Structure 1
């Protein structure tokens, strides 16, 4: 099933994101994780790349098995900045042959080795060029990333919205946000999208913080805002890992309940391949989630 057909019907989808295991772990570990996530009934599961954008082939394999073996709709990430046009066309064919109907189209990060190679000339510079390729190939529902607080490489938020609209205008069906901890900034972002005419469904990315190193890494990569309530949690429990995990899960639950009450089209939980915190979140929101679904059915 195409994800675009799940969205925009008044109900809120809840989805998970997983990634291929590191090369030091057996491939089967990810399927053990999926077995533990299966009964939580996500609307779909997104499969990203391994560390540094590696494991592209594993992404397709895992996404295919999510759908065929676990009976859950899947979406495969596809990045383009280090790829050739021929390799992208081959990858699209592989994705189609694997039975996957959904793609999250991303530019991707540029590895340092490519940046240092002065002879390197990318065949794709921007995500919209990949989107054009997917549209031309045909047959997929296409998602793209968006950044409520602006992409770290963009000069200002006006440019960021301009680039986002460009992606949407080239054939995007829905958007998935980078993780954020301040819902108010997300709501302000939605208002700005409306002002520039971006009308596609938006799925909000939520990451339950489980340890302090995770927070430091998030700050390095995204620089996302950490509101006072979140900072108080970090300050209070920084040296108490068990309590920090408990508080991080509770904070994610609060975010999701607030988003559900707002009427967001979808919530996307970055699981970090850890099924137990994800299970606790889903159990905490189950009554609210199904209450929202009943409201849709009764309309």
Structure 2
């Protein structure tokens, strides 16, 4: 099933997970998947293998497990900045052979330890290249508060429109903590004639160090209410978990009340987080 079919007909619920870095942790992912798939998401996205390696057997293995064992549609992340056409062709061949149709096309983070290739500079290049090569549904990433490398919001929207024109049928947003930023972003997209579903991405705050690192990487702003939660509870793990979950739930409820296209939850492989969120919104999504 193509994700665009689900997202165009209902408010979608989806999760992101990442492949375990160690072989010894592969079995532990089953416990996470048991809970996530019990919650009946429309899809689960699987991040590209650790370090961005094209040798991403764990990514494919995990996507196959989700599809075959749990009958939930997987979305496989695919980056392109460090790969050439032949390498991308091989990855596309594997996806087609495994019956995996849905791809989140990404440029990928710059990595000083990896050589950047000249074949693909942007996610839109990857989509344009792969679109005629298989029956894929492409998703794209979007940044409500601008990609850290964007010069301004006008440039951000222009590049996003190029991505959609290339063939991205659904957009998944980077995490954010201020819903007004997301609403303003969606309005700007609609004005620019970007009319595909835009699904907000939410990450509950349960680890202060982790969330600060994520904010630095993606450029999300720190609302005053959010800052107070971090400062108040960062040394109390249990209290931060409860306060962070409450903040995320309040975000999600507000987003759904304002008729967003669904919710994409960054689970960090924590099934407790996913279950708590789903219990809180089960009657409104």
Corresponding residue of 1:15: 14
Partner Cα separation in structure 1 for residue 232 and residue 163 of structure 2: 41
Matches within 5 A, 1:122-201: 122-201=118-197
SS of the residue corresponding to residue 45 of structure 2 reads: strand
Query: Aligned-pair distance for 1:261?
Result: 0.8
Partner Cα separation in structure 1 for residue 117 and residue 7 of structure 2: 38
Q: What do you get for the CA RMSD once the two structures are aligned?
A: 1.4
Instruction: Pick closer, same or farther for the CA change 1:35–1:215 going to 2, 3 Å.
Output: same
Partner Cα separation in structure 2 for residue 246 and residue 25 of structure 1: 30
SS of the residue corresponding to residue 268 of structure 1 reads: strand
- 1:44 and 2:43 correspond: yes
The unaligned stretches of length 5 or more in structure 1 are 290-299
Corresponding residue of 1:207: 203
Query: Aligned-pair distance for 1:53?
Result: 1.9
- 1:92 and 2:88 correspond: no
Partner Cα separation in structure 2 for residue 13 and residue 226 of structure 1: 27
- 1:277 and 2:273 correspond: yes
The unaligned stretches of length 5 or more in structure 2 are none
SS of the residue corresponding to residue 175 of structure 2 reads: coil
- 1:207-253, Cα deviation, whole Å (9 max, x unpaired): 01111111221122112111111111112112111100111111111
Partner Cα separation in structure 2 for residue 138 and residue 99 of structure 1: 11
- 1:1-30, Cα deviation, whole Å (9 max, x unpaired): 110101222x31110000000126432222
Matches within 5 A, 1:220-231: 220-231=216-227
- 1:158-206, Cα deviation, whole Å (9 max, x unpaired): 1111100011111111100001111000000011101111111111100
Partner Cα separation in structure 2 for residue 30 and residue 211 of structure 1: 20
TM-score by length of 2: 0.96
Partner Cα separation in structure 1 for residue 70 and residue 117 of structure 2: 40
Partner Cα separation in structure 2 for residue 6 and residue 257 of structure 1: 21
Partner Cα separation in structure 2 for residue 138 and residue 47 of structure 1: 20
TM-score by length of 1: 0.91
Task: Say how many residue pairs are matched.
Answer: 284
Corresponding residue of 1:266: 262
Contact 2:16 2:45 in 1 (8 A): yes
Partner Cα separation in structure 1 for residue 70 and residue 20 of structure 2: 18
SS of the residue corresponding to residue 273 of structure 2 reads: helix
Instruction: Pick closer, same or farther for the CA change 1:50–1:246 going to 2, 3 Å.
Output: farther
Partner Cα separation in structure 2 for residue 286 and residue 230 of structure 1: 24
Corresponding residue of 2:30: 31
SS of the residue corresponding to residue 7 of structure 2 reads: coil
Partner Cα separation in structure 1 for residue 204 and residue 102 of structure 2: 25
Query: Aligned-pair distance for 1:57?
Result: 2.3
